[in-house]
Structures are given as structure tokens and as C-alpha cells.
Amino acid sequence: MIYLDANATTPLGAPARDAMTAAMAQFFGNPSSLHGRGQAGRAQLEHARQTVLAAVGGAGGKIVLTSGATEANALAWHGVLADRRQRHAVRVVTSAVEHPSIGALAAQLRTSGVEVIAVPVDAQGRLDMRAYAAALAEPTTLVSIMAVQNELGGIYPLAELARLAHQAGAVFHTDATQAPGRIPLNFHGMGVDLASLSAHKAGGPAGVGALWLRKGQRVTPLVAGHQEDGLRGGTENLLGIIGMAAAFAGLSQQLSGMAQVRVLRDRLWRGLVAAAGPLTRNGDVAPEDETGHVLNVAWPGVDGARLVRSLDLEDVCVSSGAACASGTQEPSHVLLACGHAPAEARAGLRFSLSAATTPAEIDEVIALMPRVLARGRRPAS
Ligand code: PMP
């Protein structure tokens, strides 16, 4: 199997697997219990929290552990807005290329009458900074812009975006799900107020994540309860949290492998151009503006979802659009936002590499692509 779908989820890495396996036998206590077993669990929980906090440059801030980035996004949005709404009218500025979990929050809030502005992007997925500044000209409560685009790999300028948001009096949230291990993170230094994280894009298990909060940043909880300092009720997913911390402890090592990942990603692009052209590239920006682990391409007139299935027959795992929207056969909302027609947006195919990707795997994918394309081009029977 050749797995080139790291943005959908990464396989469980050895550090997380080993830590979780060991913890499974040892730490069954409820961290809220007063006895030794419970307190052993509590100690693990707090240790894990500190590990995650340090790994994201979150000094002085707070980590609220959640079921993943989707919940962290919801806690950030609803939590900030509920806190403000008691006193003021609220307004949100976000981008047109956020993950569907943010898109769903925007839709939900619009239904209840909240103004949510989606800032457009250019043809390669870069945020339109003039439109961003214009959106902030009106009183804004919350700004939410992702750190790394999940379909394209583009990096958004968080420090600058946060500075402008603060100038306008808004709180700045980022969905940083795709960032850990791919770009250096220093939420505190970047001026971010809230950041959503997930374990399963960085070698941790799915079903666990966190919301980082700057010191003093208030949120109203979505789930009431005494756990997580009153910000997220429910008995903690200790095993998952231990797995997340073990994965995040290795983020700087993951980061140091990114230069090699970029070499392989570029080899894939050049190889596909030579062996299976003509094709176009989406999210084609300067190297410093993208992570280097994503290649999003399109063969004109060939449906991306068909290519995913065709590659699957060759035991190669990739995505068309975001995994969460796959299966719906809807064109990618990200490629539509880049100005592509629906048919072009359906043609997008995303390869997302990881440190586990080998040159031999890349060469094999390049070699089998002409055959896969021929199958993808045949009329559907
Ligand atoms: N945001 C982004 C940018 C993502 O890529 C994903 C995962 N596809 C999520 C949020 C949702 O994360 P989780 O699966 O932890 O809920």
C-alpha cells in the first residue's frame, strides 16, 4: 500500500502507539477520582497537557482538551460569541477556503442572523489581503483564518492576520489542524488568541484534539461540567490524550523531516508532468508560502473522485477535495473559491505526503499514473 493521504489522517506513529499501549494497562483511573489510581491518571493528563502546550509555543496559555479540531473550532466560535453576545451584536470574518467544520459553523450562525463574511482567495488560494482589510473596517467580534490549507498546503500569514484583527478590535482564532509538524508553531509569538488542534494529522489518534487559549481569553463552554477547568465537561479521553502528547512531543523531529518531504513532493510533480501530462497544478505558490507536502493537480476533463477509486485499485490512497466532503461528489469548495468552474473543481486530486513516504513509492505512483488515467478517462459504464 502506498499512503499519500496524510492530510486526511496520518497513520498512528510509533511514539503514540507505544505510549497508548503502555497506558492502556496502567492508567484506567478516572482523573477526577481522589484515590491513587485516579490521581495517577490525573498526573498523566496534566503532563500531556504541558507537552502539547510546549509543542505549539503556547507559553502562558491554556490547553482545553477536546474530541478533535471540529469540536475545538465549535468551542472557539460559539465560546467567544456567546461570551460577547451577552453584551454586543456579533460579527465574524473568516475565509472562503476554511475546512467544512468551519463552513458548517458559518452556515449555522448565518441562519441565526449573525453576519459572517467569507474573505475571498486568489486563483492559487492566497487570501485577498485587501478584501480582508476591508472586511475588518466594520466592527468585528471574531476572525477565524486557518493556518495551513488542507487541500492545497498553502500557509496563511497568521502574525499579520492577527495584528490586523487586533487593530480592528477582534479576537483572532486559527484552525491550525494541518500545521503541527509541517510548519513551526508559536501561537503566543504570532499573536493568535485561540487555536484548534487535532492529534490525527501528526501521528496521533483520531478523536482527540485541543483548543489553545491565550492567557485571559474567555470562552463559554459548549458542554458544561467541572472537567478542563469548567470549559469542557465529560470524563477525559486519557488514552487518546496520552497518544496526542506523545505525537506532539515529536513535532520538531517531524518538522526537520519536511525538507526531504518537499524534495519527494517536487519529484512527484516533475515525474507526473513528464509521464502523464498535460496536467495543471492547484495552489501553485512560492515555496515559502506552502508546506511542501501537498500536491494538488488536475487532468482536464478527468473526474478526481474517479481517479481516487482507480488509484485505490492499485493500492494507492489519495483524496479528491477534502476527505470530509468526499463521497458527496460535490466539487471542492476550495477550488471553486479559487475561481475554477465546477467541472474543473471536480478534477482536483490531492496527494499529501509524510516523512514515511519513500522515493520508491513516488516513482511507483508516477509509473502507474498513465494506466490509471486511461481508466479514469474511459466513459463510465
Ligand atoms: N480543520 C482542518 C483544516 C482539517 O483538515 C480537519 C480534518 N480533516 C479538521 C479541521 C477536523 O479535525 P478533526 O478530525 O480532529 O475533527
Nearest-CA residue for ligand 1 atom 7 is 8
Top CATH class, 2-9+255-376: alpha beta
Cβ of 324 below 6 Å from ligand 1: yes
Q: At 317, which helix (H) or strand (E)?
A: strand 316-317
Instruction: Give the angle subtended at the CA of 193 by the CAs of 188 and 195, to the nearest 5°.
Output: 85
Q: What ranges do the domains of the chain cover?
A: 2-9+255-376, 14-251
E-strand stretches of 104-203 = 115-119, 142-144, 171-175, 194-198
Q: Give me Rg for the CA atoms of the chain.
A: 21
Cβ neighbours of residue 166 closer than 8 Å, sequence gap 6 or more? 172, 191
User: What's the gap in Å between 346 CA and the centre of ligand 1?
Assistant: 21
Fold of the domain built from segment(s) 14-251: Aspartate Aminotransferase; domain 2 (3.40.640)
Kindly give the number of the ligand 1 atom that is closest to the alpha carbon of 70. Answer: 16
153 touches ligand 1 (CB under 6 Å):
no
pLDDT less than 50: residues of the chain: none
For 174-213, write each residue's pLDDT tens digit: 999 999 999 999 999 999 999 999 999 999 999 999 999 9
Question: Phi and psi at residue 34, in whole multiples of 5°?
Answer: -80, -20
Give the model's pLDDT for residue 295: 98
Active-site position among 183, 324, 336, 356:
324
Q: Give backbone dihedrals phi and psi of 173, rounded to 5 degrees, phi first.
A: -110, 145
Same topology, domains 2-9+255-376 and 14-251? Answer is: no
Cα separations in angstroms, 113 against 106, 107, 171, 190, 209: 11, 10, 20, 32, 29
Identify the CA nearest to 187 among candidates 58, 72, 63: 58
Report the C-alpha gap between 176 and 194 in whole angstroms: 10
Helix, coil or strand: residue 102: helix
Q: Is 146 in the pocket of ligand 1 (CB under 6 A)?
A: yes
Predicted model pTM: 0.97
Closest ligand 1 atom number to CA of residue 324: 8
Mutation choice for ligand 1 from 52, 70, 155, CB with most ligand atoms inside 8 A: 70
* Ligand 1 contacts CB of residue 101 (under 6 A): yes
**71, 99, 248, best to mutate for ligand 1 pocket (most atoms within 8 Å of CB):** 99
- Does the beta carbon of 209 lie inside 6 Å of ligand 1? yes
Q: Is 150 in the pocket of ligand 1 (CB under 6 A)?
A: yes
Q: Is 324 a catalytic residue?
A: yes
CA of 24 to the centre of ligand 1 (A): 26
Sort residue 379 into left (φ over 0), alpha (ψ -120 to 50) or beta: beta
Q: Which residues, listed in sequence order, are joined to residue 350 by a DSSP beta bridge?
A: 296, 319
Is the CB of 178 within 6 Å of ligand 1? yes
* Cα 135 to middle of ligand 1, angstroms: 25
For residue 9, how far is its CA from the centre of ligand 1 (angstroms)?
A: 9
Nearest residue (by CA) to ligand 1, atom 6, is: 177
Q: Ligand 1 centre from 263 Cα, in Å? A: 26
CA–CA separation, 326 and 317 (whole Å): 13
pLDDT for 59: 85
**Helix (H) or strand (E) run with residue 316 in it:** strand 316-317
Distance 243 CA to ligand 1 centre (A): 17
Pocket test for ligand 1, best of 177, 241, 293 (most atoms within 8 A of CB): 177
* pLDDT in the model for residue 376: 82
| φ and ψ of 341, to 5 deg | -70, 155
Task: Compute the distance between CA of residue 36 and CA of residue 15 in angstroms, rounded to an integer.
Answer: 26
At residue 72, the pLDDT reads 98
What integer pLDDT is reported at residue 95 of this predicted model?
Answer: 98
Q: Given the CA of residue 148, which atom of ligand 1 is nearest to it? A: 3
Does any ligand 1 atom lie closer than 6 A to the CB of residue 70? yes
Q: CB neighbours of 36 closer than 8 A, spacing ≥ 6? A: 29
